[in-house]
Amino acid sequence: MESTITLPLWLFILLIAFAAIMVIDRILLPGMRWYLRRRVNRVIDEVSTRLDIEIRPFQLTRRQNLIDQLVFDDKVIEAVKQHAAENDMPTAIAQAKAVKYAKEIVPRFNAYIYFRLGYWFAKKVARLVYRVRVGFYDDEGLKNIPQGSSVVFVMNHRSNMDYILVSFLVAEKTTLSYAVGEWARIWPLQTLIKSMGAFFVRRNSGNSLYRKVLERYVNMATRAGVCQAVFPEGSLTKDGSLREARLGFMDYMLRDYHPDIDKDIVFVPVGINYDRVIEDRSLLRKLNPDASKRSIWFIIKTTLGFLHKTLMLSRKNRWRRFGYASVNFGKPVSAKTYCQQQQVDFSKLETEQRFASVKNLADVLMKNISDVVPITPVALMSEILLSKHEDWHSELEIKTRALARIDKLKEQGAPINISSSACEQVLAGALDILIGRGLVKNKDNLLKVDQDAMDVLVYYANSIRQWN
């Protein structure tokens, strides 16, 4: 005799859902993880044969292991106890805060995303907008960096495009780990950025526990040989000039550095410049203390409008609007050699003396950066036009003065890469950009600076004023 069991509909749906979850968890997810791990390993094997600086084991370590290592670092534990005592709270709560900060900071590097998605995206965006130019002032020096050394690219910070541009240009040599501000801590952007090996930093944080966790992470990554990219200025330049170096990150790297026994830390100066910085007017606006803050809606609307207009342009017209983006890599500076020459051991110095010594090294690096910041055509033409901005000039007169300035810059050893055969075309293109943006008036074949655009031209001229 057959019997029938009747189930309520809700229970039947619940059982089906539970069965589906078990199938996914026990069969599909393991298979997917195996497939993805296989793809990642294949990418790692492929790129390891061509990278000048290989991917470090630290970057491939499970993220949770790195978090545990960071949280249970002796100096972090000491900072936790001090934080608990100062704020009259249980040690467990202070420890939980340290764990939170560690999870916020430690990246989740994924080689497949970095080289397949990140590299493709950076390459497409950089070439979509600019004519990209790159120069190596000591390519042999880069290739001869001792195996296992920690390489730190130190660069000037002109635009948020810097991240994309430099990542694309060095992708054939190494992977880069950036310090990214809080602006990028939005989903899903933060997941993608962490997968690219970047770590988030709370700028100007006065929390001593947070600063200690950050310090120890930077120290761990540096000692493990992770290749890093650092903007010594700390933030974007607002007036176009190089700013003084902020010493926090360099101090984190060097305060426990023992030149006699530790692996070398090699700093590579990088100079970046653009014919057009996308956010130039927004940066200049921040110089005005009376300027009102833009709303989120305004920023989103403006950004989408900019993207739409840019994508609608042909490549030729885009290049006419944005011109060149140039990057120069300078001569590497060895921390070990520097310490030997200056007879300094950062690890043995008291705080005040150490910061003074770090500043001396930072000044050397900033000078090296300024020496390789590319002289772009628009920066050059801005300098020429500003010298006699009240008068009308013919295009021929402006170009003649520009050619004379180029000859003088070359005598000074300035990083200007404009060939004689293409000079006329390049200078004409720079003037077209300035006229097209309304920065220069054009009347009866005569040119004159628009007085309302003086601050923008000064912004671009400031990028090369170290050669005045």
Is residue 54 one of the residues assigned to a domain?
A: no
Tokens of 383: 């300098």
Is residue 445 one of the residues assigned to a domain?
A: yes
**Residues 361, 246 share a domain:** yes
- In contact, 129 and 168? CB cutoff 8 Å: no
At residue 13, the pLDDT reads: 83
At residue 465, the pLDDT reads: 92
Is residue 68 one of the residues assigned to a domain?
A: no
At residue 30, the pLDDT reads: 66
At residue 218, the pLDDT reads: 93
- In contact, 326 and 134? CB cutoff 8 Å: yes
**Residues 345, 401 share a domain:** no
CATH of the domain at 268: 3.40.1130.10
**Residues 271, 384 share a domain:** no
At residue 62, the pLDDT reads: 87
Rg (CA), the chain: 26
**Residues 200, 121 share a domain:** yes
At residue 468, the pLDDT reads: 84
Q: In 3D, which of 423, 457, 418, 422 has the Cα closest to residue 437?
A: 457
**Residues 417, 332 share a domain:** no
Is residue 89 one of the residues assigned to a domain?
A: no
At residue 101, the pLDDT reads: 93
At residue 120, the pLDDT reads: 82
**Residues 381, 354 share a domain:** no
List the domain range (segments joined by +) for residue 386: 377-467
**Residues 198, 140 share a domain:** yes
CB atoms near residue 265 (< 10 Å): 24
- In contact, 359 and 247? CB cutoff 8 Å: yes
Distance CA 160, CA 126 (A): 12
**Residues 258, 175 share a domain:** yes
* Domains: count for the chain: 3
CATH of the domain at 401: 1.10.3380.30
**Residues 395, 339 share a domain:** no
**Residues 336, 381 share a domain:** no
**Residues 402, 356 share a domain:** no
- In contact, 191 and 58? CB cutoff 8 Å: no
- Collect the ranges in the chain with pLDDT lower than 70: 1-5, 7, 25-51, 182-190, 296, 299, 311, 313-319
At residue 25, the pLDDT reads: 65
DSSP string for residues in 127-169: HHH-EEEEEES-HHHHHTSPTTPEEEEEE----THHHHHHHHH
